[in-house]
Amino acid sequence: MNTLLIAMILALLIPIYEACRDEDIWQKMLAFASIASKTSLMICVISALRDDWMIGIVGVLILSLGNASLMLLAHILRRTSLTGGVAE
């Protein structure tokens, strides 16, 4: 299980690099959503290793609620940039 956790940490470095490299706000928001998903899955794996269901609940809440709000914000930013800064 420790090697799985190390592999997950290495997979987390890919969207971090993408967020630092790209200038497009839409791509940055997608990279941050990927980081949030991977982090919450890592929290769920750690809760399974420690046999602690409270940590697992936090991971599931981050996974279900965190990405929805982040993607909604990215969509709003994309629409305002397409309309010239005026949200309809």
Q: Express each pLDDT in 1-25 by its tens digit.
A: 778 878 888 888 888 887 788 777 7
Domain, as residue range, for 50? 2-82
Does residue 88 belong to any structural domain of this protein?
no
Q: How far is CA 84 from CA 24, 26, 73, in A?
A: 16, 15, 17
Asked if residue 19 is part of any domain, the answer here is yes
Instruction: Flag whether 40 is in a domain.
Output: yes
Sequence length of the chain is 88
**Does 64 map to a domain?**
yes
In whole angstroms, give the CA distance from residue 52 to residue 84: 48
- The angle, 0 to 180 degrees and rounded to 10, between the axes of the packed helices 25-50 and 67-82 is 180
* Residue matched to tokens 């991971």: 59
Structural domain includes residue 87: no
Q: Over the stretch 38-71, which tens digit does the pLDDT of each residue have? A: 888 888 888 888 888 888 888 888 888 776 766 6
In a domain, 15, yes or no: yes
Domains in the chain, number: 1
